[in-house]
Structure 1
Amino acid sequence: MDLADRVAALRAEAERANERRLLTLAGDRGRGLDAARDVLDAMGDPAATVVTTGGGGIAGADHCHPDRADRLLGTTRDAVVLDCHAGFSANVLGRVVGAVDGGGLLVLVTPPLDEWPGDDYADERLAVPPYTTADVTGHFRRRLVDTLRAHPGVAVVDVDAGIVERDGLTDPPPARPRTSPSTPDDATASAAAYDACLTSDQADALHALEGLRDGAAVVVEADRGRGKSAAAGLAAGSLAAEGRDVLVTAPAYRNAAEVFERAEALLSTLGRLENADDETHDLTATGGGRVRFTDPAAAVDLPGDPDALIVDEAAALPVRRLAAYLDAPAVAFVTTVHGYEGTGRGFDVRFRDRLAESDHAVIDVRLDEPIRYAAGDPVEIWAFRALLLDARPAADQLVADATPADATYRALDAAALLADEHLLREAFGLLVLAHYRTEPDDLARLLDAPNLDCRALCIDGHVAAVALLAREGGLPESLRVDMYEGARVRGNMLPDVLTSQLRDIDGGTPVGYRVLRIATHHAIRSTGFGSRLLAACHDEFDADVDWFGVGYGATPRLVRFWERNGYRTVHCSTTRNATSGEYSAIMLRPTSPAGHDLHDRHARRFCARMRDGLSDALDDLDPDVARAMLRATDHSLAPDLTDHEWRVVTAAAYGPGLYDAAPGAFRNLAMAHLTDPVADLSARAERLLVRKPLQAHSWERVAADLDYVSTRQCMRALGEAYRPLVDRYGPEAAREERRRYEERDG
């Protein structure tokens, strides 16, 4: 085998078509890395990066640990060598594949393909305790190997035997010349900005983004490598050159780095760049314009009152956060259609209605033409298939008229999913929509993780609803002690919180199922499919576990959904998720005596924590979330008031008494009401109980938050809110105090 000749043939074809090729070097790791070194030598000093955990370095190439593969995002390389023997993951593969330029090679150094799916190469990250690597299957790797052996544009070389199994040649036609973009007649951005566009699609996106000048909401969608972030950067630079202030946010700065690079380059070209601060990610232009970055949580408040907001990788952020950004004077949502950063399909399904209801005119633009390689590139098509980046639910018409009674409950184990590619794509497509951030590693977990079970409701063989369950708990004493003392344990999210944060050393003893994801097809959402699927899961597994549980970013609607399905609150996080901006709720549904013991002690402690926690770490918790979480507990607090405190509260409700005379009594009584499953007050009155007695905000802030015309009206409303509470819970001392004012006024 002459490897140099094979590389030359692959490169010549790739360069002629402006496509990429994938070369698999399968066999012993040392031989594979030696062969990879020969490949780079044959390419003649290419710009190359080797992604490896260490050892077997290749001179002349950059080296990158798999844990830092995200630094390749947005970069362009002639070749990337990925060492798949150690540190390999689906996420790493997804991150590196886009870095290879047209005419370049993606080189995978793999174990022998027949052995790679075996136990010796099991992903230890999937061995969630108490499971071990011996329990991790190789279905994902087996499927990956099948794609390597079957997909066009993929060469396979057995480096142990010196045999070329597949040459990877496709004999494509030469690449078509790319049409140079032109400046639209009605363009408001500078000609220099349009000159910087590499495709007509990019110029169209820049033209659409000019709508930010007029307060529009612009949606820019594209697959990776189409130049959407670059177009956003040119738009940001153009606005800054005009003296406007542009705020940029993204899940992390690295996602928006291209925006800043293009904005800085344009300002330099125009002679308008005054300063570029790489540490604070802040560009200033002559004339007062700026392009500056802030994280998603801070961006909600629109710091500095920017003229426009650009949200890069918008699909990787939750809907509630995206909706908050609509308060900006003008906003652009730049999003990936297919990719582990988040999916444009999920963005469409979950956010489009909020966008349509906003005050902004909406402008849509999509980029289809790749920047770095030709359309139809076989490596991109292979990556989409291998990692299911383009997975989507069944077509709407296949399930749209169905009812829960029409559905069939079935287990979707790895064997069933691998035997039916359409079933796998529909199930994974729904799981993608269930969460704003789904990554290729989730596909590996679905197929290989021993602690996961997947269940679905199907209509005529099509997936209408899907649930992913993670088995947790049942941990040995030594591991529980380690968790109690601060050690992190893979998986086991609920036992980890109960043990390490809530100081329950026995929290990891009972066994349960955490509902990791649950999703219903958008065409039949809110018609009972989710509840029917949960009920079927409960029927199947209740006898085998001690509890079902769930942890999620709490909203009133979600809390009510889980409450209706038998789940009860046992914890509220004291910090917001940095990406979603939500506080997290943990809810349990006990199924055995051990599960009830676990639930009862944590429900009791939760109520005790919330009494004081709402005026401390949770003083900004949405009152409707607080109401929903407290009402969804299975532990009612009795109002623990002295006779004197009852008289103070009753006097405030029916007479001239003051809240400030006994604020703790008002707090205790508010907790008793909000944890009482049959108590009833108006939503506004309950919000008042949360904001004032429990969160201890000032009268001025409470009046403003709840739209009272004055603090006096707010004070009077609080007294009135306590009247039914006094009547319901008050002892004789309260009744005597009430009669005093009734007799006086009678």
Structure 2
Amino acid sequence: MTSSNAPSNPAQIWADDLCTQLEQQRHRACLVLCGSADWHQAWLKRLIRPNWQGLFIGETSPHPQATPQNPKQLRHLLGQETDFALFDAEAGLEADALGIVGGLIRAGGLCLICLPPKADFLNHPNPALAAFLNYPLTPEDSLKGFQAHLWHQLHRHALWLEENQIDPAWPNLHHLPSAPSTPPLNRDVTQPTADQAEALHAIQHVAFGHRKRPLLLTADRGRGKSTTLGLACVALLQAGKRRLTLSAARLPQVQTAFDTIENALPQLALSGFVLREKRPGLVIFDIDQDVAEIRFRAPDDLIRAPADTELLLVDEAAHLPLPMLFALLKSHSRTVLASTEHGYEGSGRGFRLKLTEHLDAHYPGWKRHTLTTPIRWADKDPLENTLNQLFLLDTAPEKDITDPTLIRQVQIERIDHPAELAQPDNRADLQRLFQLLTQAHYQTRPNDLMQLLEIPNQQLWVARAQGQIVAVLFAVGEGGLPNEPGRRFQGHLFPQLLKRHTHHPDWLSLNGWRIQRLAVWPSVQRLGLGRQLTAHFIEANQTEADTLSVSFSADAGLIRFWTSLDFQPLHLGLKRDQASGQHSAALCYPLTEKAARLTQQAQQQFQSEFAWNLTQPFQHLESDLALAILRGQPPALPSHFPNGYLQDQPFESVAFALRQWTLGQLTQLEDSDTLALWLRKVVQHQAWSDVVAASPFPHRKALEAHFKNWLAQQLAPI
């Protein structure tokens, strides 16, 4: 008697051989099952081992050993492991989810993707797109470009089984890579690998060397980065340190580090450390009539009250807003920042570029160390390779173009059919585009690639030099909405934001394009390419839209750039965005008379409200950002300067007059540290004690004397 599970069944033998080989090599693999639902079920029964427990990415699992998991909640499982992950195209394929499971599947496990036959898949709408399309678009309206990209890349870089195939058409398992060196399954995690030992040496330098020389520790997933932080804490305690602080966006992100410390408790006991207390986020020891502790503290708490610590170690630093990281570096003299280079957020490259720019400017002695050897699985992992190919992380960037004469010869073009970028012949362009978008925004994710290839209401413009893409502008269509009080339409960020804050419903009906990304290749920035690309975009839409808009995490440089192109600031969010740590700004370029009228009204309202809000909700807004926004608006009416202040008239008697004079003179006053301090006091109404603390002066009297000398110089030519 035979059955589908009998050893003599060739399909079962192939499935068993695959799982055995992955287990022996400590590899993972991505396997595509392309066929009917019943055929999928038969293969899942062959492949999923009786003792496995896995995840189904969707609502209703087709297999009893796969727990349903909402893709939006997957990131909360990071740090855990699963035997397999199961996707079904009928339930939707979300790019972020595919990226995340690459960090969850253990060595020996499988990522299983069930697809219908080719014609059905390439033409069938992806349900996962529903959350990313502006009203009234539906997945049926999508470009199907990401599905074509998935098909081509998975067919080439994943294991692929297709219904009606017969052996030997099944993938040849001898073609799977062999691990050059296979880490032992039960390796002693308290003993560092050679790769980790080098990282520990670098961390020791931070702890015992010169102050203000931070370390950036980067690694692809599975390289033991978090374990290394735990090993560092153990080694530093044994070397004499007594107060160590671990930090991350959430406590579970440092759990691996604390687990490593727990595994080393016997080792520490031999060194004389007596465990006094252990609870989530805290370990305290008694040692030689002293106390040693390793404590977790949240980043915002550390900024409010810097830690009395001998070393701060921040894990998953790319999850934190850059301004928050800058503040942590400033307030802690010995800091290690650890970050995933290619993670579920898509890529850490953009984060690294922006962070290293800051480190170069403020911490000349900073160091970088990269962990390269996988620990959780073996080197040359097939699943890692598949995901790197799928999300365009597989090759180094092309050679930079730096010759300014070549840049002056750029050709600007609109890519009319973005879905065609998914074709294999266009892979180089798609990769270059995604690298640019990644560097423009350090939290770029795989979903951004999916949207680029799927959203129908988009404009994609590029600048090429010698055929190579050096700049990109990506915009999304918005507006044309009905006025239905109380209704919130999916997407359409700019028109709904302006309607809400101006209480003018006409904003909804205007048709516009919102620029989501404008990126220029790093080696050719500051040569006018972004300005040139935007000018082409504006010219091309003169008769095609009512408005052009842009929304971004505000900083002074970006505000100055967009206002120099005649975009008008119309909004600044009162709260800082959780992802960027900055306020969100919205600016508008009107193209029609109606839009110009609405923009002027909104601009006047924002000008007065922003100036007023600088005294309270924006009281601690960065002075250069406040100045950039104020200068980006029509100047306030000139106001008389209260000359008595330069004599003996008290500040409090003329504070309002000084404020009005300052607002009217901003275009005349040159940027300086003194102007920044003056704005904090006179325009933002900060306490004298706060302004003095930010100045080089010991007390108010000295600072005020400096202000008066500066004002006398400013008044002389006026």
* Match status 1:698 vs 2:687: yes
Whole-Å separation in 2 of the counterparts to 1:368 and 1:549: 42
Deviation larger for 613-622 or 556-565: 556-565
Distance change (3 Å), C-alpha of 1:655 and 1:435: same
Whole-Å separation in 2 of the counterparts to 1:51 and 1:180: 29
Distance change (3 Å), C-alpha of 1:111 and 1:342: closer
Task: Find 1:202's aligned residue among 187, 196, 204.
Answer: 196
Distance change (3 Å), C-alpha of 1:361 and 1:550: same
Tell me if the contact between 1:19 and 1:104 (Cα under 8 Å) persists in the aligned partners: yes
Tell me if the contact between 1:392 and 1:428 (Cα under 8 Å) persists in the aligned partners: no
The one-letter amino acid paired with 2:95 is A
Whole-Å separation in 2 of the counterparts to 1:238 and 1:502: 59
1:599-610, aligned counterparts within 5 Å?
Answer: 599-610=599-610
Tell me if the contact between 2:471 and 2:519 (Cα under 8 Å) persists in the aligned partners: yes
Partner of 2:311: 308
Whole-Å separation in 2 of the counterparts to 1:25 and 1:348: 37
Distance change (3 Å), C-alpha of 1:27 and 1:93: same
Partner of 2:236: 239
Partner of 1:495: 495
Distance change (3 Å), C-alpha of 1:70 and 1:157: farther
Query: When the two structures are superposed, what TM-score results if normalisation uses the length of structure 1?
Result: 0.85
Across the two proteins, how many residue pairs are aligned to each other? Answer: 692
* Match status 1:658 vs 2:647: no
Task: Find 2:276's aligned residue among 274, 277, 287.
Answer: 274
For 1:115, what is the secondary structure of its paired residue?
helix
1:142-541, aligned counterparts within 5 Å?
Answer: 142-151=148-157, 153-158=158-163, 166-167=170-171, 169-172=173-176, 175-178=179-182, 196-197=190-191, 199-214=193-208, 215=211, 216-240=213-237, 242-267=240-265, 269-271=267-269, 272=273, 273-278=275-280, 281-286=281-286, 287-300=290-303, 303-317=306-320, 319-327=322-330, 328-341=332-345, 343-359=347-363, 361-390=365-394, 393-396=397-400, 398-412=401-415, 413-418=417-422, 419-478=425-484, 481-483=485-487, 487=488, 489-501=489-501, 503-541=503-541
The one-letter amino acid paired with 2:653 is A
The one-letter amino acid paired with 1:475 is L
Whole-Å separation in 1 of the counterparts to 2:714 and 2:37: 73
**Structure 2 gap segments, 5+ residues each:** none
Tell me if the contact between 1:6 and 1:167 (Cα under 8 Å) persists in the aligned partners: no
* Match status 1:49 vs 2:49: no
Task: Give the superposed CA RMSD.
Answer: 3.1
Whole-Å separation in 1 of the counterparts to 2:205 and 2:132: 46
Query: When the two structures are superposed, what TM-score results if normalisation uses the length of structure 2?
Result: 0.88
Task: Find 1:669's aligned residue among 661, 665, 673.
Answer: 661
Partner of 1:95: 100
Partner of 2:592: 592
| Superposed CA offset, 1:251-276 (max 9, x none) | 44444332233234334652444333
Distance change (3 Å), C-alpha of 1:424 and 1:57: closer
Partner of 2:635: 636
Whole-Å separation in 2 of the counterparts to 1:198 and 1:684: 48
Whole-Å separation in 2 of the counterparts to 1:727 and 1:358: 36
Partner of 1:85: 90
| 1:162 Cα deviation after fit | 7.9
| 1:495 Cα deviation after fit | 2.2
Distance change (3 Å), C-alpha of 1:18 and 1:597: same
Partner of 2:556: 556
Distance change (3 Å), C-alpha of 1:247 and 1:568: farther
Tell me if the contact between 1:653 and 1:722 (Cα under 8 Å) persists in the aligned partners: no
Whole-Å separation in 1 of the counterparts to 2:295 and 2:457: 43
| 1:370 Cα deviation after fit | 1.4
The one-letter amino acid paired with 1:248 is L
Tell me if the contact between 2:55 and 2:68 (Cα under 8 Å) persists in the aligned partners: yes
1:117-132, aligned counterparts within 5 Å?
Answer: 117-122=122-127, 123-132=129-138
| 1:618 Cα deviation after fit | 0.9
The one-letter amino acid paired with 1:9 is D
| 1:651 Cα deviation after fit | 4.3
For 1:274, what is the secondary structure of its paired residue?
strand
For 2:574, what is the secondary structure of its paired residue?
coil
Whole-Å separation in 1 of the counterparts to 2:243 and 2:80: 27
Deviation larger for 539-548 or 219-228: 539-548
Whole-Å separation in 2 of the counterparts to 1:721 and 1:7: 80
Whole-Å separation in 2 of the counterparts to 1:451 and 1:17: 46
Deviation larger for 135-144 or 469-478: 469-478
Tell me if the contact between 2:180 and 2:379 (Cα under 8 Å) persists in the aligned partners: no
Tell me if the contact between 1:519 and 1:530 (Cα under 8 Å) persists in the aligned partners: yes
Partner of 1:543: 543
**Structure 1 gap segments, 5+ residues each:** 182-192, 730-746
Distance change (3 Å), C-alpha of 1:426 and 1:659: same
Whole-Å separation in 1 of the counterparts to 2:601 and 2:581: 28
Distance change (3 Å), C-alpha of 1:268 and 1:130: farther
Tell me if the contact between 2:510 and 2:546 (Cα under 8 Å) persists in the aligned partners: yes
The one-letter amino acid paired with 2:222 is G
Identity %: 25
Whole-Å separation in 2 of the counterparts to 1:406 and 1:285: 66
Partner of 1:187: none
Deviation larger for 108-117 or 136-145: 108-117
Tell me if the contact between 1:393 and 1:430 (Cα under 8 Å) persists in the aligned partners: no
Whole-Å separation in 1 of the counterparts to 2:267 and 2:83: 28
| 1:602 Cα deviation after fit | 1.8
* Match status 1:17 vs 2:9: no
The one-letter amino acid paired with 1:13 is Q
Tell me if the contact between 1:230 and 1:258 (Cα under 8 Å) persists in the aligned partners: yes
Distance change (3 Å), C-alpha of 1:700 and 1:537: same
Whole-Å separation in 2 of the counterparts to 1:203 and 1:681: 52
Deviation larger for 227-236 or 354-363: 354-363
| 1:228 Cα deviation after fit | 1.1
| 1:424 Cα deviation after fit | 0.8
Distance change (3 Å), C-alpha of 1:28 and 1:68: farther
1:614-633, aligned counterparts within 5 Å?
Answer: 614-633=614-633
